Amino acid sequence: MERAGPASSVGADRFGIKPLYYRIERLDAGFRLLFASEIKAILAVQREGARPNLETVHDFLAHGQLEHNSDTFFEGIAKLPPAHVLLVGRDGGTELKRYWDYEVNPDLGQVSRVNDQRAAEAFREAFFESVRYHLVSDVPVGSCLSGGLDSSAVVCAASRLLGDGRARTPTARQWTFTSCFDDPRFDERTYATEVAKVTGAQAHYTFPSAAGLLAELPRCCTTRRSHSPGRVSTRSGA
């Protein structure tokens, strides 16, 4: 987006589930606002070559800090914080404004007064609604399935919503991805397989190893191009 006159604005969702990266480039007359959900899209069109943000790289390698600010590994490219809008003025100046924040429930201190059945029903309703929001996609959806309680609950809820037609996805069948290990102390394949069987999910199993990680690391870095943890949420996403 090239601008020399009217102001521009872009916004991120409330929890930052869908990332939004941006860069302001100065032009001879005005400026250019670049923004995308992946850094590599900005790198493909920016006028200057990619340069590392050495301070951010140092913070990550030396202290293990992740997303402690809006900077990325690339100089001049920032990540828009969740629940914020980026306002870009006519002169290319930027301002961040928060448009939403958490609301503290005043009844949290009265948990003991809540009926167990009512609490369970309220949790189930909120849980299903959250999963339903995450199923909005134009490609087949997938979930990481370890076989534990949390991931199994998500997969089962997604299966129910997909089967009832309450999810906006192109298919009614989800994909599951499970890490497997030869050591039975760490392998939960039995439970994951049972969940996939009950829900009718298309199961995928992978056997991670140190050698495999080293072999895939360059491709992972190319795909991610940022220091934020990846989320496998759709067939085409990372």
Q: Is 2-98 a domain of CATH 3.60.20.10?
A: yes
- The 8-class DSSP code of residue 33 comes to E
Task: Give the confidence band of 33 by pLDDT, cuts at 50, 70, 90.
Answer: very high
**Which residues are CB-neighbours of 148 under 8 A, at least 6 positions away?**
188, 191
Under DSSP, the state recorded for 111 is: G
Domain borders along the chain are 2-98, 127-207
pLDDT digits (tens, 9 = 90+) for 113-128: 678 888 899 999 999 9
The residue type of 161 is L
Residue-wise pLDDT for 155-198, tens only, equals: 999 999 998 887 777 778 899 999 999 999 999 999 999 999 99
Q: What is the model's pLDDT at position 220?
A: 78
Domain 127-207: CATH class, spelled out: alpha beta
pTM: 0.67
CB 48 within 8 A of CB 75: no
- Give the pair of three-digit tokens for residue 76: 């001049």
